[in-house]
Amino acid sequence: LEFLILNGPNLNRLGRRQPEVYGRTTLADIEAMCRAAHESETLGLRFFQSNHEGALVDAIHAAQDDGIDGIILNAGAYTHTSIALMDAIASVEIPTIELHLSNVHARESFRHVSYISKVCVGVICGFGAHGYVLAIDALRQKLESDG
């Protein structure tokens, strides 16, 4: 299996960005945590981050061409705005988990709306950096049980 861990706008600032909300763990730390917890001969992990909506759309399309088996997507604020990202996920046949570090439902009401949930197999939010490790495990178990 090969998973793409896709991160959207402002997540390159993790560690320095509102640490009271998002913690002090950087994106590089998250990548290292995920690789340590999950990377094996049977599970490969690719990481990509962009602040640009279209680059995220391109990455989702490329994932299909590259034979990626699953996507974990923290779309950042585009979660709450982007029909284009919803359509991109719907345009590929790759099970996708929506992920947020923070519990978006405990925050401002504009963060309670997600355009991408309806095209994702599940949502993980509120567990900080560990959510990425949980999401990889959840996606792997889902793919294995679905055959």
> Which residues are annotated as catalytic?
22, 100
Among 32, 62, 77, 90, binds ligand DQA (CB under 6 A): 77
Ranked by CB distance to ligand DQA, the top (closest) residue is 76
- HEC readout, 66-135: CCCCEEEEECHHHHHCCHHHHHHHHHCCCCEEEEECCCHHHCCHHHCCCCCHHHCCEEEECCCCHHHHHH
In this complex, which beta carbon is closest to ligand DQA, that of residue 9 or of residue 44?
A: 9
CA 38 to centroid of chain Cα atoms = 15
3-state helix, strand, coil in the chain (%, to 5): 50, 20, 30
Q: How far is the CB of 16 from ligand DQA (least distance, A)?
A: 14
Smallest distance, ligand DQA to C-beta of residue 102, A = 3
CB-nearer residue toward ligand DQA: 32 or 77: 77
Q: Which is nearer to ligand DQA, 64 or 102 (CB)?
A: 102
Residue numbers of the site for ligand DQA (CB under 6 A)? 10, 74, 76-77, 79, 100-102, 104, 111
